[in-house]
Amino acid sequence: MSSSASNYLPLTPLGAGDLIDRAVRLYRRHFMTLVRIAAPPVVISALGTVLSNIGLREAQVTASETSLAVYILLLCAGIVLRISGLLLSGIVLGGATRNLVAHLLWNEPVSVRTTYNNVRARFWPLLGATIVVGVLAGFFAFTGLIIWYIIFLFTLLAIFVFSQVASWLAAVVGIFGFLLASACALWLFFFLAGRFAYVPQAMMVEGKGVFEAVGRSTQLASSNVRRLAAMTLFTTFATYSALMILIIPLGWYGYLNGVNLNPWDGEGWPAWYSIGFDVLWQASSILLMPVWLLGLSLLYVDERVRSEGYDIELMAARQLGEMPRLAGGRVAPYAPALVTDEVPSLSVQPSPANWSPGSTLGLR
């Protein structure tokens, strides 16, 4: 079997496992580039974490009013930097999404410069979209928390009733109620938040405005609850795993120096250990955020393949090039697979002359 044939992947819709597998494979292929893309916003968040940590700790123990004012300003600056880092992460997600889809479509190289050029071209719309999606996600998380609390209240009532019969039965009911409340809350969150998962992709790939992208995302994301939840849980567990690997040397050093490693007693940690823990947490985010970025981009492409025949559109764009404009305002037979007209600075590089189409997901 030839090398090209053995590496070819058929154009089939992705399940949750396929989505994670291909995201990880793309991550391995472009590891250093993706880490460099993800690093700037995370570094800003890490700096904000360090400043806010120092400001909060010192403000609680200082006796000087002047020093107190300085530490409060330091705390405020740290909070601003942390929020700015989170917003910039969402903005960079949009720029990287366009770069990735262009890579899948025309084999454009995945590069830091291209990603941040895309960010610069539509910075303010991406900022608005990030704020809108962040507010909605926070509201949905609060809604899920309310549902969890209501179910858990009924669980507590059931525990009280069954405790009159047998303590072991009350324990079983408590565990089952906790798991049921958590499952319902998570399902509701992903059911609602998943409708807005494709806002950056709709803006950067399809050239839509903020509110048009919100409507487009809700229209496109109709059946991605399970896959989005799987991607989120995988990334969360992977981040915690990376954190544990990074934190072990620091934990050993802290233990040898008498630090209480109980995570519920973080206020008792010395400043150097608390800052080191926060920095390592951010470092684990740098390593794993690209997996989340790739997963969302692949999920977006897969949704369009499932519902709109995007694979045919991509193959036509590869073979025929960009659809020419028609005179008299007539509509072209198919829309551009990657819009460039709305924002001229968002361009794509032509593929090399010896490049073959391969698979829609670029994993040849």
Per-residue pLDDT, 266: 66
Rounded distance between C-alpha atoms, residue 304 and residue 220, angstroms: 7
Per-residue pLDDT, 123: 92
> CA nearest 192: which of 215, 210, 218?
218
Length of the chain in terms of residues written: 364
Tell me if 302 sits within 8 A of 314, measured CB to CB: no
Per-residue pLDDT, 357: 43
Rounded distance between C-alpha atoms, residue 238 and residue 284, angstroms: 9
Per-residue pLDDT, 325: 56
How high is the mean pLDDT in each 10-residue block of the chain (364 residues)?
Answer: 36 68 85 90 89 86 86 93 90 86 77 91 91 92 94 91 85 91 91 88 86 87 76 80 82 85 74 82 80 82 76 63 56 56 48 45 43
Enumerate residues 6+ apart whose C-beta is below 8 A from 84: 44, 45, 48
Rounded distance between C-alpha atoms, residue 348 and residue 44, angstroms: 29
Rounded distance between C-alpha atoms, residue 71 and residue 75, angstroms: 6
Per-residue pLDDT, 181: 92
Q: Which two tokens stand for residue 152?
A: 């858990």
Per-residue pLDDT, 6: 33
Per-residue pLDDT, 144: 93
Enumerate residues 6+ apart whose C-beta is below 8 A from 332: 323, 324, 325, 326
| Axis crossing angle, helix 210-220 with helix 123-163, rounded to the nearest 10 | 50
Rounded distance between C-alpha atoms, residue 201 and residue 208, angstroms: 9
C-alpha dist (Å) from residue 178 to 84, 147, 191, 248: 35, 12, 20, 31
CB < 8 Å & 24+ apart, contacts of 266-271 = 271/53, 271/54, 271/57
Rounded distance between C-alpha atoms, residue 56 and residue 219, angstroms: 44
Please report, for the chain, the start and end positions of each structural domain, with discontinuous segments joined by +.
19-320
Place of tokens 């032509």: 350
Rounded distance between C-alpha atoms, residue 136 and residue 314, angstroms: 32
pLDDT tens per residue, range 232-259: 888 878 777 777 888 888 888 888 888 8
> CA nearest 130: which of 83, 189, 200?
200
Letter string b/e over residues 305-316, b meaning 16 or more CB atoms within 10 A of that residue's CB: bbeeebbebbee
Per-residue pLDDT, 337: 60
> Is the dihedral angle over the CA atoms 213, 219, 225, 227 positive or is it negative?
negative
Rounded distance between C-alpha atoms, residue 199 and residue 205, angstroms: 10
Tell me if 49 sits within 8 A of 78, measured CB to CB: yes
Rounded distance between C-alpha atoms, residue 262 and residue 86, angstroms: 27
Per-residue pLDDT, 79: 93
